[in-house]
Structure 1
Amino acid sequence: MKDFLAKSLRRRLILLALIIVSVPILVAGLVMEKSAEQSLLDEKKNKLAAIAYIVDVNLGEGGFDKILSERGALGASRQQKIEVLNQALTGLTDSLALSAPGLGVGFYSRDLDAIITYSPSDKFGYTVGQSIGDTHPGREVMETNELHVEFGSLVRGNILNAMRPLARDGRVIGYIFVNELTGDIHSQVAQMDRGLVIAVAIGLTLSILLILRVTEDMVKDVQTVIRGLRKLRFNLHEPITGVSGELGEVASTINDMASALGNARTLSENIMDSIGDGVISVDTVGNITAFNRAAETLTGYGAVEAIGKHYGDLFAEDASFHSRLLDTLQTGQAHFEGMMEYPVKNKKLWISVTSSVLKDIDGNILGAVTVFKDLTERKQLEDQVSHADRLAILGELMAGVAHEIRNPLTSIKGFLQYFQNAGSAEERAQYLPMLIGEVDRMNRIIETMLYFSRPCQKVVVQTDVALVLQETLFLVQSRAKSHGVRFEVAIEPNVPLVNLDGEQFKQVFLNLLINSLQAIDHEGKITVSAQYLPDTDEVEITFSDTGPGIPPDIREKVFDPFFTTKQAGTGLGLAVTQRIVIAQGGTIDIGDNPGGGALIRIVIPRAGSKEDTIC
């Protein structure tokens, strides 16, 4: 298939040139042939008409009657008259017939209704005395007194027959016929056709030779351009040379475009290699098409090693990794991930990643591209900070636990010392329930502390937040009635399902509702609302009450473990609440209710948390 395109072009050029040259030649040849045939026929007709005229003139003014009169045969019988006229005129028609091979000449008498002569007489003399048929064109000639020249199949076969009326003294006395066999005419036409075909063939041959010579040079230049274009696929800075004329101008324009494209590609490659973030692009089937220097450094794969391979073969998906790039390629959905684990060569990185679809100028999809930044050191630092924070929190917890447990322990110790030295059965019966109550108090403190500090298993499913709120409200309904508190619920109907642990959030809502109930001394209102925030794809839940509110100076402390303003409180309820909300990827804020009291606002993403955060 070497140089297929150029050869194909040459064949097309030759075919086009042959059509352009041969069609006019063939049409001209056909026209010339028809014209020559017509000219030959006209010449034949004129020739036959001229011979008939000569015969007419040689017959003389008197016609047949003069000959019969001179020979004393006017009163003879029909047969005798035919014989007299034949003897008198056969010499004339024979001499004319013998002057041109294939010529037939004769007289026909209208009065005698018979052929008088038909020369050459040695061939056609037997026809003398015969009458023509009623439909014979000779009768029309005698009726119309007009010359007729036409093809016909008569006595001697297929002929071109000229029939000239014989008019004497204003009366048609017969006609002269002069004919020639059509075979002779056709042989002459065929001879003309052969000459014309030879001339056309010579013309076409010369045209083909000329076309081959012209296209050969053109195709050589085209082949040079094609070879140059193939080289440009691998080296845009290698120009096309050795071409002149119009194709030379085309080659020069291609060279300029290739040079500009090469410079642009070099600039793009330099920009790509200068970017500190990894950049990888794939085609529509997922094969890697671009792999910048930062991607080489971060992943451990070289560009030569990666380009051309399927993205999934290098970065295999598993239970902990789902490729955002391949998902974008399949669904067309762009991704913007804050932090995720990414499998590279012989290790895993923590990265931030974005992925989007690649399109051409017409909007057709070319593939997809991902840009990622290494956040491994940041993740390690955050883990260290988180560990330090947890240690600090643990210190606070221990201090709080020591403080909270010391009081009941002191009471228990005092009672035990008292019972050790004295105490009656009645006193034991009176004080033992108090001892048990102090032990239960310590147990509740320890249970709450454990719930706050230990990791818990989240059961994340698509959850109807409105339903969880309704179930939680039912749990505190009787308590609210006893306090004279009414609920006002405003949940928008378009709140979607949210990925979260419903049981944990029931605990969150229960903690907040109990706090609001405890804050209202008597008769008040608690408003619960939920709405969808489409701009951020989040759900907002608010709790507001008509209690005294939370002073600004302690709002930052209410989420600290063991911080409480209530005499019987442990100070862990809001700390646990905040921990659950953050674990779900949400936020919780405290503010003022415009009508007086506190307002607590929770915002959680509809898709849930991206990380397995400890709750």
Structure 2
Amino acid sequence: MTTSTPAPSSSRFSRRLIPTALVVTGLLTIAAVVSTVLITLEHKRTQARAAVKASAVETAEYLARDAVGFVITSDFETLLHLVQAKSEKRGETTAFITDPAGKIISHPDSSRLGRKRDDDLHARSIQTGQIAARVRPEEGGETFEAAAPITAGGRAVGVARVDRSLRAPALDLGEVVTLVAPPTIVLLVVEAVLLYLFLNAVVRPIRSVSSAIADVAAGHHGRRVERPAVEELGLLAESFNRMAEQLQMTDAALLEEKGNLERALAERTKDFFRTHHSLLRIFESSPSAIFTTDLRGRITAANPATCALTGLSARDLIGRPSGSFYASPEDLREVQTALRREGRVLNREISVRRPDGTIRTVLVALSTIVSDRNRPMGVLGVGTDVTEKQDVERRMIQSERLAAIGQLIAGVAHELNNPLTGIMGYSQLLLSRPDASSVHGPLDRINREAIRMQKIVSNLLAFSRPHDPEWNPVGLNGLLEATIELVAYELKVNNIRVETDFDPSLPMTIGDFHRIQQVFVNLITNAMQAMADSHVGEKLFLKTEQAAENGENWLRVTVKDDGPGIRPDHVARVFDPFFTTKPPGRGTGLGLALVQQIIHEHGGSIRVASEPTKGTTFTINLPFRTDVPSEEDPAGAQTRGGGAGGRGGAKKSILVADDEPSICSLLYDTLKEKGYAVETAPSGDAALRKLRRRSFDLIMTDVKMPGLSGMELYDRVRTEFPGLESRVVFMSGDTVTEATRVFLGDRRDRCLSKPFGPAEVYTFVEQFLESQRRDQPA
């Protein structure tokens, strides 16, 4: 059996009658509701504006009363708290205070301090001594301004200002409903009554005829419609009687055809959904970003990987121009050109800009989608995020470069330490002679410059040497001075002037000297590079002080420059790993992240304040400890011996092995002067030959020498002269390379670091011989 809708003729007839009542009553209802809502809105708006004005005047009056004492005493910090308390964070209310001349002295927005607001409102308030108010039109609405004079002793010392937006507040929906509902309900009841009367009078006969026609259309072909009294309905009944006869003949054929079509459609539908679900699972499960666009470049589909890559939901992506994600306009032009010429783009790296401003590198393949008639329909794209892969590659390259630089520094330091030892040693020997008074000044300058070079080399070695964390007392003043010396040359060639303000009474803290030094090297280097690259700024200011914050005491270090500053959208991200504004090859984006990590490891905090063109300030707080030992440790004082005899003993013999003639000569002269019997050897092989001829009380050997090195000489002595290896001590200007560090290991107390002077040599030799004497059995 088939079903059908009511006859078109009766439906048209019904549509002539029913809408008449609906339109009339509907218009009446709509008119009443709209009128009521408009009246209610206007009433609420008037009340809201009056309340806003009264609130602004009251706030200004309270602010003037509360601020008078603080204005007189110029307590701007308390004034700031007052205006912040009277202001709203959403910007609806702004409170501020001006002096009698109209200059702003306190405002929640520090950038407005010092600006003039000597308008007629300000003048009226000062002149009348009363609260003045006005409504100021502005774009997007109106602002109500109130000014209350701040008086003391009968004169105005300032003006309390309050600006309040007159934008209408959100209406109370429940209140509006309460006002609108009664008349609306009454009108709806009237409409219902009219419709009921209309249906009884006109529509009921039409429904009776339509019911009979519907039965015939539904398959009850034996049913016939009697001719109603209404002429139009009679004609309609005759038409349906003829149609029923025709339907009876064709109904069976239609039912059979319908069954065949339904079965075929069901099978095709199953196949379609199986294919669709399979492709959809592939599309959504793919780790690669898959998307399609139309011919205008607007995204029409995007899988979850595309959403993750772009940082947007699928809903936000659909309809968005794909070209808006290209960080480089050149990339976009080249891709569009390749698609027009060849219809595809394979394995091309492009830079994608996410809505949050981050840039991702994506390897994409694009292909034009064509129709059955070979006409372009859009573009299919597949992309893989290779940002992390590139970052890892860059970090590996950077690590290799840093390792090479460390090796280079170690080699250079070793080569410098050898001549420095000779320069320092001989200048100190000459200074100790009474006949050198005529050249004492030049010799002293030579010695001081050599010591300065020693500090530079020591800082280079300390900075490039890998360290395990060593928690010891650290003096921040001395650490900063050593750091400035480390980068002094770069600062000088870049015309950067360093100013310091160190608190001489600054206590020490517990920390790792080298890791804290790395913090300040990174901060100073960043500031120097920013000023040099932008040609803005020339001063770097370092300050140490004791500070109280959040109820705790801190050691505070301030690093401030007058360079180009940092963009506001970058300030919050400067400590993010791999975030950098430098061009490729100039930075890894790890410097400030490492700085923050080190400071947090030490229980401290770091914050940054910066504005474009106004420089940058880093403030570091480290824990304040009062129980840390002072820098002068009596237990560490060196013991001065009594000469070559080592506490009155017999004359001691010393063998010196070093490939640097100046060092051999220096040690010979230095130790000979103290009464030691000294022999020198220019190589490890020569020293071994002398040991085969006689024994020595002390063997001093350089770690690195051509031929037989100091490390190899030590092994040969241990093999050929068992027990004599305990008398071997080492000299080295290289404590950075892995082989040297591993060899020295627990022998660091037996190593004399280059460069050294006569006093260090005396102390080292005497202490070592004294320890040898104590260890001998009685």
Bucket of the pairwise TM-score, normalised by the shorter protein? under 0.3
TM-score, structure 2 as length reference = 0.21
TM-score, structure 1 as length reference = 0.26
Instruction: Kindly name which structure, 1 or 2, has the bigger radius of gyration based on alpha carbons.
Output: 1
